[in-house]
Chains A and B, each alone.
Chain A
Amino acid sequence: MPQRDPDPRTQLPLTPVVLHILLALTDGERHGYAIAQTVEQATDSQVKMGPGTLYGSIQRMLGASLIEEAPHRQRAADDERRRYYRMTTFGRRTLELELQRLASVVRLAQSKDLLSGPGVA
C-alpha cells in the first residue's frame, strides 16, 4: 500500500459538493440518499446532487480517505443492502481546515464591508 500524505491541506480547497457531504456527515453515518436529502434541506434546495454527482464524489472521497464505509449493522426500517458512510478523522481535520479557510475569507470580506448587504446573515 502506498503511503498517503497525511497533510489535509493537500485536499484544499474542497468542491462545494464534497464540502456539503462532509457537513452532512458531521452528525453521524448516513446512506447516499440520506446525504443528498440532508444537504438539500440544509441549503434550502440550493445544493442538489443527483446520484451521479453524489457517488462520483463519494468515490473520490473514499479514495482520499475523507470518508469510509461504516461497518454493516442491522438498522430498523432500512434496506439491509444500503451502505452507510461516515467521516474519517482525516476527513474531519480536512473539513475543519476548509471551514477555517472559508471563515478567513468571510472575515476578509467583512473587513472590506462586502458582507453588509441585506439578506446576508
Chain B
Amino acid sequence: MTANRSRFERAYRAALLIFPPDFRARFGDEMVDYARSAIDDAGRRGAIAHARIATALFVDAIANAPRQWIIEHRERRAARAAAIAAGVLPRDNMDIILQDIRFGARALLRRPAFTAVAALTLALGIGANTAIFSVLNAVLIRPLDYPNADRIVAIWGVQGTTGQNGVVFPDYLEWRAQNRSFEDMGVYRGQSVNLTGGDTPQRVTGSFVSASYLRLTGATAAQGRIFTDAETEIATKAPVAVVVYEAWQSRFAGDPAILGRTLVLNGQAHTVIGVTPPNIQAPFGRPDVFIPIPYYPNANGLQRGTRGMLALGTLKPGVTIENAERELKALAKNQEAAYPTTNKGMGVELQPLKEQLVGQTRAPIYIVFTAVAVVLLIACANVANLQLARGAARFRELSVRAALGAGRGRIAQQLLTESVLLSLVGGIAGILLAVVGTRWLSTTLANALPIPAAIKVDGVALAFAAIISIVSGILFGVAPAWNASRTNVHDMLRTRSGAPGLGHAATRNALVIVQLALSLALLACAGLLARSLMELQRVKPGFDPSNLVTMQFRLPAAKYDTPAKIWSMFEQTVAEIRAVPGVQSAALVRAFPLTGNGESAPVTIEGRAPVAAGDAPQVQINTITDQYFATMHIPRLVGRDILPSDTRDATPVVVINDEMANKTWPGESALGKRVQFTGDDRWWTVVGVVGAAKHFTLNEKPLLQAYVAHAQRPQIFTTLAVRTTGDPLRIVNDLRKAVWRVDKDQPVWGVQSMDQLLDSAVGSPRLIVRLTMGFAIVALLLGAIGIYGVLSYTMSQRTHEVGIRIALGADSRQVVWMVVGEGMRIVALAVVIGLAGAFGATRLLRSQLFGVGPTDVITFTAVTVLLSGVAILACYLPARRASRVDPMVALRTD
C-alpha cells in the first residue's frame, strides 16, 4: 500500500513537470499533497474509486498545464512592457547588449589586476595563434600569385617506382602540340650560367624557358619585350635574353642602356631584349636571367630519353586535372610504342602547382598550428579558472542581482558578454603581438618556406583573430556563466562572507585537469619532434664533416669543348688547390654531399637478364678524382681507390658502396664484376668497395652508390672537396685564387663548409622543434599556474581547517602532504588523460618523426616526469604557505 502510494506520488510529481517551473516551485508540493490526500480518501472507498481519482488527477494536470504556461507568458510580457514603459528595462536586444557591455566594462575596470592578467594571457594565446595562422594563410590558403593560379598544374614524368621526375623535352613538345586539355604548356630548366666579358667572371642563375612558360607564370617585360614563341623553339643565330629586374639592379647597376647590350653567357653572346618588372613570380626560384630553352648547356639534356625539364600547364576552364592526366597518359602510351628504346615504362603525372609547392610544408604548419591552438585552449581554461576563483565579491553581487529579479539567463548572458569583452581586449593586444610576431616569423621563415609568401596580419588574419577572440570568450565564459545560472539565489544570499566563490571545486579541478592533460600531450609531441631532431643530428653521414669545405664551378661549354680540355683544366685546378697552405687534401667531385646536387641512373648488371627500365636498380653515380675518399674520410672496405692512373684511355673502373655490393652481389665479392649505366654503353669494372655516405638528406635510406673517375666521365660541372687543417672558411679566398691561377675567367661559387650544410639539413626540423617546444613550455607554465591557482584558492578557503589541524598537533609536514596529496590526485588524473591523448596525437606525427616511434617510452616518461615535477612544485608553494598558518590567526578569521 505505502509502496503503491509512493509510486503514485512519484508518477504524479513527474507529471507536474509539464507545468511552468515557477508555478511548480510555488504549488508543486501542495498539489502533491492534494493528490496524496485524494488518493488516500478514495482508497477507503475501494479500488474503482481509487483508479478513477488517480485518472482524474492526471487528466486535471494535463488539462491545466497549457493554461498555466499561457498565463505565465502573458504576465511576463505585461511585466516587461510595464518595466520598459517605466524605463527600468531596456527597449530591445541592442539596448540589452549595450547595457551589458557598459556593465561588463565597469566590472572589468573595477578589477584591474585580474583584467590585466587575464587579458595578457589571452593576448599571448590569440597573438600566437594569429601569427601562426598568418603563416598558414600565406602558405596554404592564399592562392598563388599567378594568372589562373588554380588551373596551373605541374607535369611530371614517372617511371616505375621512381616517383616524380622531370619530363623529356621532345615528349613535352609532342604533348603540347597534341593535347586538348590545356590552354598552354611551358617548360623550364634552371641552371647557373657563367657571365663573362666584365671585370670579373660572374656566376648568374639562368632560367632556360619557353616563351609559353613566361606567359604562364605571368612574367612580363617592363622594358623591351619577352620572348616570342619562335625565339624559344630552336637555337637561332641571334640568341636573346631577358634580364630579371633584381639582377638588372644588382649586377648591371640598373644600366639604362641594358636593352640591346650583349651578355656573354656560357661563352655565347646573347642580346638583351627585355627587363622584367620587380618581384616576378617564379615557382622554382627567381633567376637572374631568362634564356631560351634551346640554349640549355647540356646538349643531351634536350634529347629523347633524358628527363629533367620542369613543365607547367594551364588547364582549359572546366577541364579536371584527372581528365587532363588521362589524356597525357594516353599520349605517353603512344610515345612508349613509338620510341620503345627511350620511352619504355615512362608515364606522366599531374599535380596542382600549389600542392606541388606547399604540399611538403602542410604537415609541419599544421603541427605548429595545433600546438598553438592548444596553448590558447589552456589559456582559456586559465582565465575561466581565474574568473571562477574571483571570489565572494562577484558572488554577492550576482546574488543581489538575482534577488532583484534578474533571470538566470540574463545573468549568464551578462557574464558571457563580460567574458567576450575581456577576450576582445585580449584579442586587440594579441593582434599587436601578432604583428610583431609575423615580422619575426617572416625573417625566421624566409628560407624555410616553399613559396615567397608575404607573412602579414591581413584582413583574413584579422577576421581569424576576431573569431578566435569571441570563441575564446565564450569558451572561458561558459563555465562561470553556467555555474552562476545554476546557483540558487536563496543559497547564495545565505552564505557567509567567506563564500565559496563562483563555481564548484569540481569544475575548477576539471579545468585544471584539462589544462595539464593538454600540456602533457603537447609536451609529448614536442618531445618526440625534439628526439627525432636529436636522432637526425646523430646520424652518421658516412664521412667526417669537420674541416671540410666545398665550392662549385662550371666550365663554359664553348670554351672547354673537348673532354681533353675539360680534364686538363680540372687536373691543374686540383694541383693548385692541393698546394694552398692549410689544405690537407683535396679532390673533385661532381656532386658534393648535402648540396642537393646528384645524379641517379638505372644500372644494368653484366650476366643478368635485362629488366624493364622502371624496375632496374637506381644507382646514385658520382664522378670523382683520386683522393676523394681520403678527403671525405669515407672508409675503403675492399679493393682499391680511384687512382690517377684511371685515365681516359684506361679500362673504365667504378668503386661502389657496401650497400650496392651487398644488394647486388649478396654473399659474393663484388670485385671484378661489371655494370653499365643507362645512356653509356661502356662496361665499368668494380675495383673497390667503400662505406655508404648520406648524399641528399640525412634521413634517407642507404643509397646504392657508384663512383667513377672524372677522367673517364668528364663533365663541365664539378665541385671541389677540400679538407683543411684549420677552419676551412678562413682559406676560402686562397682557394678561389688557386682556381683563377688556372683560368682567370672561371667563376667559383657555392662556397660552403660541411658544418653549414649539415646545419641547413636540419634547419627546417629544428625550426618546427623550436616552435612546438616553445609553445609546449608556455602550455606547461600555464598549466602550472592553473594548478597553483586552484590549490592556493582551496587552501585560502581551508585556512580555518588547517588552523584546527595545526592547533590539534598536526606538524607542518603533514599539512604539506595533505595539500600536495590533493594536488597529486589532480595531477595523476591529468597524466592518465594526457597520456591517453598523447598516444592518439603522436600517431598523427608519424610522418614527421625520424628514428623514434610515436609511442617512444623515453619521451613519454620524460615529459610525464617533467610535467609532474613542475606540477608538484606548483602544489608545494601553496602547501608550504598553508603549513605556516598560525592557528590563532586562522581560527580568528570569520
Q: Which residues of A contact B (CB under 8 A)?
A: 2, 31-33, 36, 48-56, 58-60, 79, 81-83
User: Smallest CB–CB gap between B516 and chain A, Å?
Assistant: 48
| Contact A82–B33 (Cβ < 8 Å) | yes
The list of the 4 closest CB pairs from A to B, nearest first, reads A50-B60, A52-B64, A51-B31, A55-B27
| Contact B33–A81 (Cβ < 8 Å) | yes
Query: Quick one: which of A2, A51, A58, A79 contacts B60, CB cutoff 8 A?
Result: A51
User: Smallest CB–CB gap between A31 and chain B, Å?
Assistant: 8
Any A CB within 8 A of the CB of B23? yes
C-alpha spacing A108/B67, complex, angstroms: 34
Instruction: Encode contact with A along B57-101: 1 for CB under 8 Å, 0 otherwise.
Output: 101110111011001000000000010000000000000000000
| Contact A53–B30 (Cβ < 8 Å) | no
Chain A, residue nearest B35 (CB): A51
Any A CB within 8 A of the CB of B643? no
Q: Which residues of B contact A (CB under 8 A)?
A: 19, 23, 26-27, 29-31, 33-35, 37-38, 56-57, 59-61, 63-65, 67-68, 71, 82
| Contact A53–B33 (Cβ < 8 Å) | no
| Contact B68–A2 (Cβ < 8 Å) | no
| Contact A33–B82 (Cβ < 8 Å) | no
| Contact B35–A52 (Cβ < 8 Å) | no
Residues of A contacting B59 with CB < 8 Å? Answer: 50
Q: With contacts defined as CB atoms under 8 Å apart, how many contacts are there between chain A and chain B in the complex?
A: 63
Chain B, residue nearest A82 (CB): B33
Query: Quick one: which of B61, B67, B82 contacts A51, CB cutoff 8 A?
Result: B61
Query: Quick one: which of B29, B38, B65 contacts A52, CB cutoff 8 A?
Result: B65
Residues of A contacting B23 with CB < 8 Å? Answer: 55, 59
Residues of A contacting B71 with CB < 8 Å? Answer: 56, 59-60
C-alpha spacing A75/B864, complex, angstroms: 66
Contact status of A33 and B64, CB under 8 A, knowing A58-B27, A81-B29: no
Residues of B contacting A32 with CB < 8 Å? Answer: 30-31, 33-34
Residues of B contacting A55 with CB < 8 Å? Answer: 23, 27, 30-31, 34
| Contact A50–B56 (Cβ < 8 Å) | yes
C-alpha spacing A58/B68, complex, angstroms: 12
User: Smallest CB–CB gap between B51 and chain A, Å?
Assistant: 15
C-alpha spacing A81/B29, complex, angstroms: 9
Query: Quick one: which of B27, B34, B82 contacts A59, CB cutoff 8 A?
Result: B27
| Contact B33–A79 (Cβ < 8 Å) | yes
| Contact B82–A2 (Cβ < 8 Å) | yes
Main secondary structure of the interface of A (DSSP, over half): helix
C-alpha spacing A108/B658, complex, angstroms: 126
User: Smallest CB–CB gap between B574 and chain A, Å?
Assistant: 107
Contact status of A59 and B64, CB under 8 A, knowing A52-B31, A79-B33: no
Query: Quick one: which of A2, A54, A56, A81 contacts B34, CB cutoff 8 A?
Result: A54
| Contact A36–B34 (Cβ < 8 Å) | yes
Chain A, residue nearest B75 (CB): A63
Residues of A contacting B63 with CB < 8 Å? Answer: 50, 52-53
Which among B26, B27, B35, B65 has the highest number of chain A CB atoms within 10 Å?
A: B27
Given contacts A50-B61, A56-B68, 20 further A-B contacts (CB under 8 A): A31-B30, A32-B31, A33-B34, A36-B34, A36-B38, A50-B57, A50-B59, A50-B64, A51-B30, A51-B35, A52-B60, A52-B61, A52-B63, A53-B60, A53-B63, A55-B23, A55-B31, A58-B27, A59-B68, A82-B33
C-alpha spacing A54/B34, complex, angstroms: 10
Which among A32, A51, A81 has the highest number of chain B CB atoms within 10 Å?
A: A51
Residues of A contacting B35 with CB < 8 Å? Answer: 51
C-alpha spacing A36/B35, complex, angstroms: 11
Residues of B contacting A36 with CB < 8 Å? Answer: 34, 38
Residues of A contacting B57 with CB < 8 Å? Answer: 50-51
C-alpha spacing A103/B337, complex, angstroms: 116
Residues of A contacting B64 with CB < 8 Å? Answer: 50, 52-53, 56
User: Smallest CB–CB gap between B582 and chain A, Å?
Assistant: 102
C-alpha spacing A5/B765, complex, angstroms: 82
Residues of A contacting B26 with CB < 8 Å? Answer: 59
Which among A48, A59, A81 has the highest number of chain B CB atoms within 10 Å?
A: A59
Which among B26, B30, B61, B71 has the highest number of chain A CB atoms within 10 Å?
A: B30
Chain A, residue nearest B60 (CB): A50
Residues of A contacting B65 with CB < 8 Å? Answer: 52
User: Smallest CB–CB gap between A24 and chain B, Å?
Assistant: 14
C-alpha spacing A43/B406, complex, angstroms: 44
Residues of B contacting A60 with CB < 8 Å? Answer: 71
User: Smallest CB–CB gap between A99 and chain B, Å?
Assistant: 26
Give 28 A-B contacts (CB < 8 Å), ordered by A residue: A2-B82, A31-B30, A32-B34, A33-B33, A33-B34, A33-B37, A33-B38, A36-B34, A36-B38, A50-B57, A50-B59, A50-B64, A51-B35, A51-B60, A52-B31, A52-B60, A52-B61, A52-B65, A53-B60, A53-B63, A53-B64, A55-B23, A55-B30, A55-B31, A55-B34, A58-B27, A59-B26, A59-B68
User: Smallest CB–CB gap between A70 and chain B, Å?
Assistant: 13
C-alpha spacing A33/B53, complex, angstroms: 13
User: Smallest CB–CB gap between B866 and chain A, Å?
Assistant: 59
| Contact A51–B34 (Cβ < 8 Å) | yes
C-alpha spacing A83/B27, complex, angstroms: 10
Residues of B contacting A54 with CB < 8 Å? Answer: 34
Residues of A contacting B60 with CB < 8 Å? Answer: 49-53
C-alpha spacing A82/B65, complex, angstroms: 22
C-alpha spacing A31/B38, complex, angstroms: 13
C-alpha spacing A55/B67, complex, angstroms: 12
Which among B29, B60, B63, B65 has the highest number of chain A CB atoms within 10 Å?
A: B60
C-alpha spacing A50/B26, complex, angstroms: 17
User: Smallest CB–CB gap between A85 and chain B, Å?
Assistant: 10
Residues of B contacting A59 with CB < 8 Å? Answer: 23, 26-27, 68, 71
Chain A, residue nearest B62 (CB): A52
User: Smallest CB–CB gap between A15 and chain B, Å?
Assistant: 12
User: Smallest CB–CB gap between A50 and chain B, Å?
Assistant: 3
Residues of A contacting B38 with CB < 8 Å? Answer: 33, 36
User: Smallest CB–CB gap between B600 and chain A, Å?
Assistant: 88
User: Smallest CB–CB gap between B9 and chain A, Å?
Assistant: 12
User: Smallest CB–CB gap between A18 and chain B, Å?
Assistant: 14
Residues of A contacting B31 with CB < 8 Å? Answer: 32, 51-52, 55
Chain B, residue nearest A79 (CB): B33
C-alpha spacing A56/B64, complex, angstroms: 8
C-alpha spacing A36/B30, complex, angstroms: 12
C-alpha spacing A24/B26, complex, angstroms: 22
C-alpha spacing A54/B410, complex, angstroms: 32
Chain A, residue nearest B19 (CB): A52
Residues of A contacting B30 with CB < 8 Å? Answer: 31-32, 51, 55, 82-83
Residues of A contacting B67 with CB < 8 Å? Answer: 56
Residues of B contacting A58 with CB < 8 Å? Answer: 27
Residues of B contacting A49 with CB < 8 Å? Answer: 60
C-alpha spacing A51/B30, complex, angstroms: 8
C-alpha spacing A31/B27, complex, angstroms: 12
C-alpha spacing A55/B20, complex, angstroms: 13
C-alpha spacing A58/B35, complex, angstroms: 16
Chain B, residue nearest A49 (CB): B60
Chain A, residue nearest B15 (CB): A52
C-alpha spacing A2/B64, complex, angstroms: 28
C-alpha spacing A17/B60, complex, angstroms: 14
User: Smallest CB–CB gap between A119 and chain B, Å?
Assistant: 27
Chain A, residue nearest B59 (CB): A50
C-alpha spacing A32/B26, complex, angstroms: 13
User: Smallest CB–CB gap between B44 and chain A, Å?
Assistant: 14
C-alpha spacing A64/B684, complex, angstroms: 113
C-alpha spacing A60/B33, complex, angstroms: 20
C-alpha spacing A52/B16, complex, angstroms: 9
C-alpha spacing A82/B30, complex, angstroms: 7
C-alpha spacing A88/B135, complex, angstroms: 76
C-alpha spacing A55/B38, complex, angstroms: 15
User: Smallest CB–CB gap between B534 and chain A, Å?
Assistant: 73
Which among A33, A53, A83 has the highest number of chain B CB atoms within 10 Å?
A: A33
Residues of A contacting B19 with CB < 8 Å? Answer: 52
Residues of B contacting A53 with CB < 8 Å? Answer: 60, 63-64
C-alpha spacing A33/B65, complex, angstroms: 19
